Amino acid sequence: IFVDDLAENVIVLDPGANALLQTADVDVSAAAIRSSGALLMQLEVPLETILHAAWVAEAAEVHVVLNAAPARPLPQELLRMVDTLVVNEAELEVVSGSRGNPQNAASDLLERGPGSVLVTLGREGCLLVTHGGIITVPAFVVTAVDTTAAGDIFTAAYAVASLEGRDPEWCLRFAAAAAAIKVTRQGAQPGMPLRREVEQFLESRI
């Protein structure tokens, strides 16, 4: 992962071990998936494996969260098993096949199967599109030094807040706060904030 002069990350991917994750590996962990509140996945492993894991989760009524990165077109079979699809603007274009207004593209994508579409817009905030409507939340203003893993942290924080039964707007703010803290720090894992740090950040921004 490289970071450019604007603090944006440029990722060079060599799948390595990720490409070796097979459906049999999912079966080994199937009990853990079935006993979970949510299954969070991205697209750095084989699509067949992702489909199988989603099928295991759906059969057990486990909430499926898919962060569609690295972006690729997704089959209808997978989209209909996803409860929350998370994409940034570039990924939204690839997955939806359309350019232009993110709200319109996300709304069109919603009709293809996922329960909701969550679009991260960087400095512009984020938006959540559901069959009940659209919720937008602005980004917190911070000085970014490294955006690496900000999307991953946003997605994980949103999943945690959702599992706690928080209302959607609170979930988005919680996730945005976690990502905002991250981009002020160098490194992916070292830059991840603790729960208390996110809560303190939110309290300071009320």
Active site residues: 152
Q: What three-state secondary structure class fits 129?
A: strand
Identity of the residue numbered 176? A
The b/e string for 98-129 (b: 16+ C-beta within 10 A; e otherwise) is: eeeebeebbbebbeebbbbbbbbbbeebbbbb
Q: Are 68 and 91 in contact (CB under 8 A)?
A: yes
Rounded Cα distance between 44 and 17, Å, is: 10
Tokens of 25: 């590996």
List all residues 6 or more positions away from 14 whose beta carbon is below 8 Å from its beta carbon: none
Tokens of 27: 């079966």
